[in-house]
A = this chain, B = another copy of it.
């Protein structure tokens, strides 16, 4: 077992069991409206005597990843990966020394990097996520996760997962739900750790994708080779579109934390039967981060207004969560 696998196995062990010794399936959730909403919802849709009963196969639960299942500050983990890959690949790409946004990364010039904007970030991602087979990319991500450390907590990124959300995922699965990730991040990036970090297998990860082509790989055998072109951006209205395409039925539970999740939440809220729609609200600057409307990462504005108007569930990290990370316990 590699160190990376060992670290993930440890994280999984820390996160288990779903219920504490007293049988509480959500021991890290404080008494309050969010916890009560979750318990009441699961009770209602799993009780065959309930008018709101939902058959197990239709118990689809969709979760955003960045900021909903793990931390997205000070920058998306996938962007930290892209930046590290630019540095690692730079000796073979001498032209990057004088080409933006690569030069900004190599010189650690944050102003120039910010000036490169979304198009610049896309260039970084495509340059570091394409040009290899799908298997090679998965290995590269796995190796990086083994050694990279979060700048604030000095721990593997896969330990920056939210303990209360791990409990929620396990609680839902124990009640016949199929749990999905529906992320603006790269599907294949997340698939490299989702099963061990969250118990979510690769086929239940929906995300942004780049094109792949079926052709001979480096060893001559047929392979999927990743191309430097975006296939689909799984964000905003793209989230319900992708859920329709991949799952073919509407979730009855969805959790997000930003305006990029807004349409997925609206669509879930409009399901014919009972649904639970939730937001993780980052309100704890001491233990994690506090941000919403003004944040450059995970901006939460319109979705928060609608959540309050419609009475969606809001998980206030400071108020509702006894612990944030597994290592806090």
Contacts and interface: CB of A to CB of B under 8 A. Distances in A.
Interface of A: 57, 60, 134, 178, 187-188, 191, 195, 201-203, 205, 209, 212-214, 221-224, 231, 237, 240-241, 244-249, 263, 266-267, 270
Contacts of A270: 221-223
B201 A57 contact: yes
Contacts of A188: 248
A290 to B, nearest CB: 30
Contacts of A201: 57
Contact of A203 (B187, B224, B249): B249
A267 B203 contact: no
A241 B214 contact: yes
A263 B222 contact: yes
A177 to B, nearest CB: 13
A263 B214 contact: yes
Contacts of A222: 240, 263, 266-267, 270
Contacts of A246: 203, 246
B209 A248 contact: no
26 contacts: A57-B201, A60-B203, A134-B244, A178-B203, A187-B248, A188-B248, A191-B248, A202-B248, A202-B249, A203-B246, A203-B248, A203-B249, A205-B248, A212-B241, A212-B244, A213-B241, A214-B240, A214-B263, A214-B267, A222-B266, A222-B267, A222-B270, A223-B270, A224-B244, A231-B245, A246-B246
